[in-house]
A and B are shown apart, each in its own frame.
Chain A
Amino acid sequence: EAGVTQFPSHSVIEKGQTVTLRCDPISGHDNLYWYRRVMGKEIKFLLHFVKESKQDESGMPNNRFLAERTGGTYSTLKVQPAELEDSGVYFCASSRPGGIVETQYFGPGTRLLVL
């Protein structure tokens, strides 16, 4: 069974540009999460999808961030326009449908650098 995959692995863009990150969860996992680790600090929750619906987007920093999960499969996270403080590692995780203590399986992350 394939794990959670993320694309690209690295992205370097200039301030003001747009970047789109993609996450493919494990097949059959209804829950999909986005997290971010900035500057070696703690990993912070961004949002949670259940299938194609946004269950919780309380961690999204501002309206420059847009997440979608059309069809309930893969998800994209778009940053437009990117700012310097958006640099960091963006992780995606997925888990099976069921209780909230289901294990979350993480992807390798996308390292975003905004210059």
Chain B
Amino acid sequence: GNSVTQMEGPVTLSEEAFLTINCTYTATGYPSLFWYVQYPGEGLQLLLKATKADDKGSNKGFEATYRKETTSFHLEKGSVQVSDSAVYFCALSDGSSNTGKLIFGQGTTLQVKP
């Protein structure tokens, strides 16, 4: 079945460091791919998305490119801030069904230190 695998956390970085959180997926068909973020004490927020191969999603300095050849959707940011500390979830929409349900990775906790 469809699945998403994220790199293990937690990830601890200093402010202004470069961030990469790896995400790979297994899916039939042509899923859409998402990154959601959960800040402390809050709900999940959509960070960015890509709906087809080679699309690049971007928001708040974060980017991720839908790579069909490597089945990946890695999240990157050139210079992280303390306020980016959160849990990041990679997800895909299950294109094999008509419900739009999301399949999530296990989440990666990011801690940015000043």
Contact = CB atoms under 8 A, between A and B. Distances in A.
Interface of A: 3-4, 31, 33, 35, 37, 40-45, 48, 55-56, 59, 91, 93, 95, 99-109
Q: Report the interface size class on chain B.
A: 20 to 34
B100 A91 contact: no
Interface stretch (B12-20, B63-71, B75-83, B103-111): B103-111
Given A40-B107, A106-B36, A95 B43 contact: no
A108 B40 CA distance: 10
Interface string B21-53: 000000000001000100001111110010100
A30 to B, nearest CB: 11
Interface of B: 4, 32, 36, 41-46, 49, 51, 89, 91, 93, 95, 97-107
Contact of B45 (A33, A35, A106): A106
B101 A48 contact: yes
Contacts of A107: 43
B21 to A, nearest CB: 14
B41 to A, nearest CB: 8
A37 B109 CA distance: 14
A41 to B, nearest CB: 6
Contacts of A99: 100
Contacts of A108: 41-43
Given A43-B89, A55-B99, A109-B43, A101 B51 contact: yes
Contact of A31 (B32, B45, B100, B103): B100
Contacts of A95: 100
Contacts of A45: 101-103
Contact of B32 (A40, A41, A101): A101
12 contacts: A4-B43, A41-B106, A42-B106, A42-B107, A43-B107, A56-B101, A91-B43, A93-B102, A100-B99, A103-B49, A106-B44, A108-B41
